[in-house]
Structure formats: C-alpha cells, structure tokens
Amino acid sequence: MALFAKKRKLNYGIYGFIFVLPFFVVFLIFQLYPILYSIILSFTNYQGFMDVKDATFTFSQYTDLIVNPRFLQSIVNTFIIWMINFVPQVVVSFLFAALFTSVNLKMKGAGVFKIVYYLPNIVTAASVAVLFKNLFNYPDGIIDKLFKAMGVFSDPTYNIVRDAWGTRILISFIQFWRYFGYTLLILAAAMMGINPTYYEAATIDGASKVKSFFSITLPLLRPIVLYTLITSLVGGLQMFEIPYLICDGGPMMAGGRWATETISVYIYHMAFEGGYTNDYALASAASVYLFLIVLVFSFITFKFFGDQAFGLEKKEKQPKKSKEKEDV
Amino acid sequence: MKKKNVTARKGLWGMGVKDWIWFVICVLLAFMCLFPLWLMLSNSTRTTIQIQQIGGAESLLFSTHFFDNVASLLNKGFDIFGGFFNSLFIAITSTVLCVYFSALTAYGFVGYQFIGKKVLFAVLMATMLIPGQLGMIGWYQLVVDLGMYDSWTPLILPSIASATTVFFLKQYLETTYSKDLVEAARIDGAKEFYTFNTIILPISAPALATQAIFSFVYAWNNYLPPLMILNSSSKYTLPIWIHQLNADTHEVDFGALYAGLVITVFPLVVVYLVFSRFIVSGIALGGVKE
Amino acid sequence: MKKIISTVLALSLTVGTMATATACGKDGDKFVVWTFTNELKEMIEDYYQDSVSDNTEFDIQVIGVNDLDTKLSSAWRAKKNLPDIVAIEEKYIAKYAESGMFLDIEDMLKADNEMYDYTLDAARDTQGKVMAYAWQSTPGALYYRTDMASEILGVNSPEEMQAMVSNWEDFLNVAQTLKNANTEHFSDVRILSDVAAPARAFYSERNASWVVDGKLSIESQLYDGEYSLYEIIKTLQVGNGTWGEEEDPFINETTERQTAWFTDMSQDKVFSYLLPSYSLHFDLKKYAENSTTGTTTAGKWAVCQGPSTYSDGGTWLGVIKTSKKAEKAKELIEYFTMNEDFLRAWANDKGDFMNNKSLMSEFANDATKSESFLGGQNHYKVFHQVAEQVRGNNRTPYDSKINAMFSEWAINYAKVENVSKSSAKADALAGFIEGVAAPYGSKIDTDITLPNL
C-alpha cells in the first residue's frame, strides 16, 4: 500500500509543479528583475541622475550604514513602533475573533461590529494620515483638546508632533487602528474553519471556554497564527506610509537622528529626497539590510512555531483527528 | 419547550450581564474606529473654506454642501466616472487573477510533492520579505523597457504572483485539506485540475472570500504605480483623479477632495458587505464536516 | 480549464500590446506638458491657443508637486515617457536645473532684460547657465491689519507702518506693544500667527547658500546677535514670559497652513502675516471671512515691505532635452515669459505678479490700480520694490530639507526642548549640523566650527 501510494505521489507531483509555475514565471519577470536591479545598484555608487553605465562598484554604502547613527536609529524606531502596535493588536484581535466566532455567542451585533472594525483598513493611508493629523493638531484638534480637557496631556501647549515618544505612540496607534480589523477578519475566518464538533466534545467533557481556546483553537490555528505573525512582522518592519505622512520621520533628535523615521522612511528619504543627491545606491544597500533583518526575524518566528508551515501532511494532527473520529 | 424559551430569553435582549459588558466594550471600540471616518464624512459635506478654517469640534457637524462638493468634483473636467470604471476593471481583474492563481499555487504546495518544492517555497516566502519601495525604480525601468507604459498590463498581471495571498491560502488549506477527499476524486477518474476547481476551491471559500476583499481593496487604492506609468487621462484610475485635487498646493478644493474620498471608499464597503456573506456561508459549503 | 487560463493570459498580453501600440503611436502627436497647478493649463488653453492659429494638440497633465518629482525623475532615468515642457516649483528648481535634464534655455531663447534677476539666478546650473524661465515673480512682504495698526499703533498708512517695522529690532518692539495692547476692540494681539515665519526671510536674504566651497556655511545673522533668527524666534516665542520657564508668546502658536493658521486671518488675534504676492488671492481673500460668524476682515488689510526682502515659491518652465518639439516649446515659453500682451492680460485678470520689471513698475505707478481688499492700496508698488532686491544666487537643491531642519532647531532653542538650557544654542546648532551630516555628509563637509558660540 505504501509503495503504491508513493508511486502515485510521484506521478501526480508534476501537477504540483505545473500549478505553481504561473506564480514563478510572473514573479521572475515583475518582481525578481526589479529586485536584482536594485541589489546590483546597491553595490555601486549610483546617484542622482547619473547614467547607469557610469556607475562604479563600491562597497562603501554598506560600511557607512552600519555606523550611521540615523540608520541605526531608524532600526530602533521601526521596532519600537512595531511592538507598541503589534502586541495589543494581536491580543485584541484574538480576543474579539474568539468572541465573535464562539458557538455560544449570545452578544448581538457581531456581524455589524466586524464590518465596522474592518472599515479603517479600507481607507487609504494618505487619507488616514490627514484625518489623524487633523484630530491631534495643536491648537485646535478635536482629540488634542479632548485629551487636554481630560488631563491626558498635562501641558496645555503640548504639541504631539513635536514630541518624540508622543509621535511614536500616535503612529503605533494609527497602525493598530488600521490593522486590527484586518487581523480580526483573518483570525475569524480561520476560526470558522474549525470543526465545531471539537468544541462540542470539549464542552461535554466539561472544559471551560478558556480551556477550549488554549487547547483547541490555538493549536489548530497555528498555521494562521504563523501567517499573522509573519505578515505583521514583515509589514511592521517595512512600515512606511503613516510615519512618512504624519511627521515625515520627525521630530528630530540630537545626533542627526529622527524619532519616527522607520527603515523604509529612511530608504525613501535617501532615494527620493536627497535633493540632487538621490542616493539610490545607499538606499538600495539599506533595503538589503532591511531584507536581512526581516529574514532573520522571520526565520526565528518560523522556528519558534515549528516547521509545520513547510510540512505537507499534518503529521501531528492526523493522529488526533482519527482519534476524534473514533470517539465521536 | 417552555424551558427552552425561558433560557433563550434570559437577560435583556437575550444577553446576560457578561454579554452586555462585552457589548459595551465592542461599542466603544466601534466608536474609536468610526470617529476619524466620521470626520471624513462630515468634511465632505462642508465647503473648502469651512474645512480649512474651522478646526475643532465644529468640524464634526455635518453641513449641507455634500452635493455642491460632488458637483464641484465632477465639474473639474476630471473624468471621475471614467476613472471609477477603470479602477473597477483593474481591481476586479487583479483580484480574480490574484485569488485564483494564489489558490492554485497554494494547492500546488499543499497537495503535491515534487523536486525542489522546499526551495521554491522558501523563495516564495523570501519574496514576501523584500521591501516594496525600492523595487519601484527597477519596476519602472522594466515597464519602460518592455514598452508597457501607459497600459494597464503591468498593473494587473503581477497580481498573479502575490506571495502573501499564497501564504495565507496555504496555511488555511493545511487546516482544511484532507487527502481523502482528493483520493476519492482520483479514484473516480477526475483530472487534477478538475479536482482543484470542484473540491479545493469550495473548501477554501472563506479564505478566498477574505483574500478577495483584501486584494480588491489593495488594487482599488493603489495609487503610485498607476500614476508613474499612465499618461493618457482616459486610462487614469480613480485615486489618480482624487489626488489631482490635492495637486494644486494653493487651490486645493478640500470639499471636493473629501467628497471624492467618500466616493472612493463606498464601493469598497459594498465589496466587503457582499463578500462577508460568503465567509459565513462558506462554512456550510466547506467540506469541514466529516 | 487550462484553456481558460491560456486565453486569459493571451488576452492580457494582447490588450497590453495593443495599448502600448497605441501609446507608441501617440508619441509623436501631442505636445506633452507636465505641471503641478491648473494655472499653466489655463494659460495654454485660454490664452495661448487663442493667440496662435496652429492646431497643436496639447496633453496637459496636472500632478501634485511631490509626485511630479517622483514621476519626472523616474522618467528621466529611463529616458522614456518624458514630457516636452515641465513646470517646476521653487522647491525643486535648483535640483532640476543642475540635473542636466533641461535644454540650455539661454542658448535657445535669450532672456529679455525685464526678468527679475533672482528668477534667473535661481535656475542656473553648476556652470551658471540658466535652465528655465519663470513667468511670475513671487516677492514676499508683510500684510498687516490697518484697523489694529490705527487703533493700537496710531499708524494710518503703509508708509507709516513701514517706518515702524523697517528692521527686526523695530519689528520686535511693535510685537511687544501689540501684546500689551488693551484698547477698545483689541487686546493681547499677536504680531504673527506662526513662529517660524521670519525664517523664510532670513534664508532668502543670506549672502551665499548653505554650501560654500563644499562646506556647510551657517551665516552669523542666523544665530549670532540680538536680532539673529535664533533670537528673534526666541523673543517671539517667549514673549512676556521667561525663557525656559514659561511662555507668553508674541505669536499665536499655530503651524503654517493648518486650520488655526487660516482661522487667524478672519479673527482679531493676529496682526500680520509674512506672505508672498500670490497669497493675497490664494489665502487672504479666501479666508478673511469667518464661515462661522460671517464677519470678514476684508478691506482691513494693507501691505508694506516689512523688515526683510524675500521671495517664496514660484514656477519655472523648462524644456526637456529629449523633446522633439523644442521649437514649439521655445515659442510657448517665450509667449508666457516675455510676451507683454500675455503678461499684461494675465496680470490684469488674475492680479498675479509677473516677471517683467517694466510692466510691474508701470502697474506700481498706476494710480488707478487699487485693491479693495487692501483698503484701496496698490500692492504692486510694494512688491515691485521687494522683487528688485531679492537674491536668487543663494540656493541649493538641499534647501527645502535644510531650511526645515534649521527652523526646527531654532524652535527647539526657543522652547528649550531637546536641548539643555545651559548650552541651548550650542546644542541646537550641533543638532542641526548633525542633522545635515546624516543624509548629506558625503556632499557637504559639516566639520565646521562656529565662531562666537
């Protein structure tokens, strides 16, 4: 039986290859070429409106960046903003996804709430930035006034975009605001795919909702949780629009550093706003560094959550399922 | 029977104290989500002067100029309707291509074994990690070299290769895919492709619907690539026209701009409402029941 | 199913090729113009096309300033998909003048002697050749409230006002008087709306640019001395308070171009604005009427030169090197920048300040010219004076970024934020220098020592 199964697998294997082919063909043309172009550029001194043919090879961008305080600060900023956004986002999304997909849900309006929570994600980043800037504007922004009346801001002349931590928290909050509905939808879609009979069996066995969550929902959701973590990590490390639009990476700090300049904003500044010296080589090198950082952290995340993402069969789960089958 | 009725009617509106607490929290959260969007709506009903001049709580009050703003928007000689339909076409085709091919690719990885699979998957994952911005220069160069500028092809075709969508569908498929279903179909003599379309797609329905929404929103709001390569105004997408309103630094018609933003967001809400139904009914369609 | 996929792919490719075929076909036909305001569009459609009999088809694209920069740079790098002429804003003119993207316009079309010098200087490349011409000139001056001036300062004409604010020392004295005012209609009046307004004037009046002989050059009037930019911003911000402890500002703490800044134009809190010529129409006239209360400040304004001579903004027209329509482009630019009929017509219709000395001088001396918003004053007089004095040879492509950095640190100094009080000035300047070093360190030598610190 086993041999026969193997032979069949090999025969069908070719279909797998054909199925994934379109992706890689399009990827090769429209994504790989631009990326290679940039990587090669990163090893040259290509700048401004130079002719590509005149560029010479040099490694100095890479060495310069490692000691550049502004670049290093941008890495720190990226992580700070990402963490303040991500941790609450995961907690809240999970909580509400579980709530809304709970079989015993008696709370009304889950459908409406889901729609409402996703709405922030639909609006473009540019519009979001304008709206929030408006709300937190000193001296007449609505929320700015509200917070001052409530005592959240103690100094009546406090201008949030002039304060390094204030701006960071604002940006993190905006990112949270934009994405927690998105994360919620994904987790909810995944939770809905879980066979309700598991929960029924668990309730019969006397398990509490919390216990069901941790023993059934989370493990079965592992692939999706991994997806959420990775996409959030990648998105967070590449965060660009909101920091750029709210404060252009500012306010400035001593030492030539900027408070909310994430790595992507730094890259953009170097590549497109360096006056005449649009330093593409430097920006490309910074991009390569960013890629390496993302790679390392993704690898760690994958390792932590197990190799199941790469595996075909659910080696761990199969036995469980068949057990359940027998029981029920 | 009577007992059932009693338990169902427990608490106010069928909700107990605990449920009410959750409800209030949900409402507060909803309020937080809607507040900025409310500002967008209220601004679309005010004149530019009012928007620029009156900040503070008053900006939340609706005024009466929405249709004036819309009229202003349409009178600028911008082909808003053309842009709307262009965006619609591009968004729909991108979404269809993206979702279909991502599902196909995901199934290729999940349901089959072939040489180099691990490597290819690693490459796919790696593409997700690459910062988007810088590829811009190379992408523009490529589009120009291929002679594809001022055309929609470079905006639509690349959606076939959407690594995040593939990743998501693959993860989802891993929780719902069962070898037995496919084996059964094979025994019955079904071709692989047929199996994909008739079995795999339906069981992925909630995931497909979710990704369709995201893909549509992304394609609809996509602004910079179309701006960079399109020259003929007949090909412009809606975001380009809306951003044109923002162009004239000293003469920005904020009223028309906000009205335009509201109009841009509206189809997305519709798409979401339509597709969210599928997520729910997907459970019924899906082969999750064993 | 496979058939469907292949058909879809084939279709997309066909559509793509067809589209590109049409695109290529279009290449030679239309005259392509890229600009960032509707002005040029109107100029071409309503003025130029009426004056000539040819049937050139124009393809005018209006793109936001920053996006125009991205699109133009990318197009130039790829040497494809380029326009024939492009309108460049002041923020980018230095960069594009030095980019080699434009045809040497002086060779093609000699400038008449009527253009204000600074407009030519601002568009020179590194060899000193002019790369673009401007049709408008954008001198800046002080718009002030005549009712406040009369009631609080006892001033009844722009000349009298000018006498009271002809230098920064006097300007700050007036600021003090206004702040302490307590008259029938006004009290606690602020002289300016936003604290960074004087910065523009200082940058514009420098002897040289930020970079001299490859080194960062910070001229002493920017930071050293009682009436340097640093001290002026500090005085305005601190006002009647104590530096580093409490503030009682002479300004209204707004940020330029945000809602409160506009509101101030329609109320009785702010006395004056340092603004360029075109702001009369684009900003003051629009926002003088308070949409909530319905009251308006129109007719209660006048303009005088103020303590400085500066310019802000402006549009330059350049011809792209790869254009196959250079002749037509030359014609167009000549029409817009040197054709007196057009310049006169446009100025009369729009009230814009044109780049033609004789014409502006004529307007300045024209007794029939009067602007009711300014209480009947002929503002051309003031602006003409200023335009002649503005400097254009102190600009670099890095200006918009470096200017913003310098202003930010000046404000930090004034508010004692991000600096320590005991070494505030040194800290602020260090912060600025390091800020410049970070992106531009390879181009600008920032290892400088500042005297008198």
The pLDDT value given to residue C22? 41
Does the pLDDT value for residue B201 go beyond 50? yes
C-chain CB neighbours of B229 within 8 Å are 81
| C440 contact A CB<8A | yes
| Topology annotation, domain B76-285 | MetI-like fold (1.10.3720)
Average pLDDT score, chain C: 87
> Residue C343's pLDDT is what?
93
Mean of pLDDT values over C134-141 = 93
Bigger pLDDT: A213 vs A91: A91
Q: Which residues of A185-212 are buried (b: 16+ CB within 10 A; e: fewer)?
A: bbbbbbbbbbbeebbebbeeeebeeeeb
Please, which pLDDT band fits residue A154 given cuts at 50, 70 and 90?
A: confident
| pLDDT the model gives residue C140 | 93
Backbone phi, psi, residue C387, to 5°: -60, -35
What residues are paired with C274 via a beta bridge?
C142
| Distance in angstroms (rounded) separating the CA atoms of residues C138 and C122 | 12
d(CA B26, nearest CA chain C) in Å: 33
Q: How far apart are the first and last CA of chain B?
A: 30
Mean pLDDT calculated for residue range C75-101: 87
Highest mean pLDDT among C109-113, C168-172, C295-299: C168-172
User: Across chain C, which distance is largest between two alpha carbons, in Å?
Assistant: 87
Whether A108 has a pLDDT exceeding 90, the answer reads no
CB contact under 8 A, C70 and A137: no
Ordered alpha helix ranges (H), C264-398: 279, 285-287, 326-338, 340-350, 357-364, 379-389
Average pLDDT of every residue of chain B = 81
Most confidently predicted of A306-310, C17-21, C48-52, C145-149: C145-149
* pLDDT: which is higher, C273 or B202: C273
At C246 the three-state DSSP class reads strand
Q: How far apart are the first and last CA of chain C?
A: 78
| pLDDT the model gives residue C79 | 81
- The architecture (CATH level 2) of A35-131+160-309 comes to Orthogonal Bundle (1.10)
Q: Given CB atoms, is A274 within the 8 Å cutoff of chain C? A: yes
Q: Quick check: A106 and B15 in contact, CB under 8 A?
A: yes
CB contact under 8 A, B56 and A140: yes
The pLDDT value recorded for residue A328 is 35
B246 phi and psi angles, rounded to 5 deg: -85, -5
Q: Which two tokens stand for residue B247?
A: 């162009």
The confidence score (pLDDT) of residue C5 equals 46
Q: How confident is the model at residue A55 (pLDDT cuts 50, 70, 90)?
A: confident
Q: What is the pLDDT of residue B11?
A: 67
Q: Is the pTM of this model over 0.95?
A: no
Distance CA(C236)–CA(C272), nearest Å, equals 13
Per-residue model confidence (pLDDT) at position A261: 93
Q: Is the pLDDT of residue C352 over 70?
A: yes
The confidence score (pLDDT) of residue A157 equals 83
What residue spans define the domains of chain B?
2-73, 76-285
Amino acid at A210: V
Q: Write the DSSP symbol of residue C287.
A: H
Q: Which among A65-69, C72-76, C405-409 has the top mean pLDDT?
A: C405-409
Of residues A123, A114, C145, the one with CA closest to residue B43: A123
Nearest CA in chain A to B14: A106
Q: Is C259 on the interface with A (CB under 8 A)?
A: yes
Average pLDDT over residues A177-193: 85
Residue B202: pLDDT above 50? yes
Chain B residue with CA closest to C294: the answer is B50
Among A43-52, B102-111, C1-10, C375-384, the least confident range: C1-10
Whole-number Å distance between alpha carbons of C253 and B84: 41
How many whole angstroms separate alpha carbon C188 and alpha carbon C249? Answer: 10
d(CA A73, CA A67): 10
Question: Token pair of C138, please?
Answer: 């954008």
pLDDT of residue A1: 46
Domains in chain A: boundaries = 35-131+160-309
- List, for residues C87-99, the tens digit of each pLDDT value: 999 988 988 888 8
| pLDDT greater at residue B93 or residue A137 | B93
Is the pLDDT confidence value at A324 over 50?
A: no
The reported pLDDT for the residue numbered C297 is: 92
Q: Chains touching chain C at 3 or more Cβ pairs under 8 angstroms? A: A, B
The stretch A306-321 carries a mean pLDDT of 41
Q: Work out the angle between the directed axes of helices A263-272 and A69-101 (0-180°, nearest 10).
A: 130
A307 confidence band (pLDDT: 50, 70, 90): low
Model confidence at C27: pLDDT above 60:
no
Q: What stretch of H or E contains C87?
A: strand C85-89
Mean pLDDT (whole number) for B180-199: 83
Q: Which residues, 6 or more positions from C327, have their beta carbon under 8 angstroms from its beta carbon? A: none
* Residues in chain A closer than 8 A to C253 (CB atoms): 138-139, 157
Query: Can you spell out the DSSP letters for C132-167?
Result: -EESB--EEEEEEEHHHIIIII---SHHHHHHHSSS
pLDDT of residue C20: 42
Q: Residue C28: its pLDDT value, please?
A: 57
Cβ contact, residue pair B172, A192, below 8 Å: no
pLDDT higher than threshold 60 for residue B5: no
Most confident region among B58-72, B251-265, C267-281 by mean pLDDT: C267-281
Which of C408, C432, C392 lies closest to C312 in space, CA to CA? C392
Q: Which chains touch A (3 or more CB pairs under 8 A)?
A: B, C
Task: Choose among B53, B137, B231: nearest Cβ to C263.
Answer: B53
Residues of chain B contacting A310 with CB distance shorter than 8 Å = 118, 121
**Cα separation, A267 vs C229, whole angstroms:** 32
Model confidence over C168-218: pLDDT tens digits? 999 999 999 999 999 999 999 999 999 999 999 999 999 999 999 889 999
Residue B10 is predicted with a pLDDT of: 61
Residue of B nearest to A182 (CA): B214
What is the predicted ipTM? 0.82
What crossing angle do the helices spanning C399-415 and C229-238 adopt, rounded to 10°?
50
Higher pLDDT, A274 or A199: A199
**Range scoring the smallest mean pLDDT among A247-251, B128-132, C163-167, C266-270:** B128-132
Instruction: Note the pLDDT of residue A26.
Output: 92
Q: How confident is the model at residue A225 (pLDDT cuts 50, 70, 90)?
A: confident
Highest mean pLDDT among B133-142, C12-21, C189-198: C189-198
Highest-confidence segment of A68-82, A228-242, C58-72, C105-119: A68-82
Q: How confident is the model at residue B187 (pLDDT cuts 50, 70, 90)?
A: confident
Question: Chain centroid to CA C208: how far?
Answer: 18
Collect all residues with Cβ–Cβ distance below 8 Å to C323 and sequence separation of at least 6.
C82, C83, C84, C85, C103, C329
pLDDT for res B288? 37
From C77, C259, C401, residue closest to A140, measured CB to CB: C259
Beta bridge partners of C251: C192
Chain B residues touching C43 at Cβ < 8 A? none
pLDDT score for C353: 92
CB-CB neighbors (< 8 A) of A147 in chain B: none
Cβ distance C398 to A276 less than 8 Å, yes or no, reads: yes
B contact residues 188-247, partner C, Cβ 8 Å cutoff: 193-194, 196-197, 224, 227-229, 231-233, 235, 243-244, 246-247
Share of chain C above pLDDT 70, in %: 93
Q: What is the mean pLDDT of residues B81-107?
A: 93
Residue C449 has pLDDT above 60, yes or no: yes
Give the per-residue pLDDT at C165: 94
pLDDT (tens digit per residue) in A262-289: 998 888 888 777 655 667 788 888 888 8
Mean pLDDT over C373-397 rounds to 90
Domains of chain C: 24-138+313-364 (3.40.190.10), 141-309+393-440 (3.40.190.10)
Q: Per-residue DSSP letters for B86-142?
A: HHHHHHHHHHHHHHHHHHHHHHHHHH---TTHHHHHHHHHHHHHS-TTTHHHHHHHH
* A102, A110 Cβ separation under 8 angstroms: no
The pLDDT assigned to B192 comes to: 82
Q: Strands C301-304, C139-145: parallel, antiparallel or unpaired by DSSP?
A: antiparallel
More confident residue, A83 or A295: A83
* C-alpha distance from residue A85 to each of A78, A131, A232, A311, C277 (Å): 11, 19, 10, 31, 45
> Quick one: average pLDDT of C413-421?
91
Of A109, A115, A186, which is closest to B272 when you measure between CB atoms?
A: A115
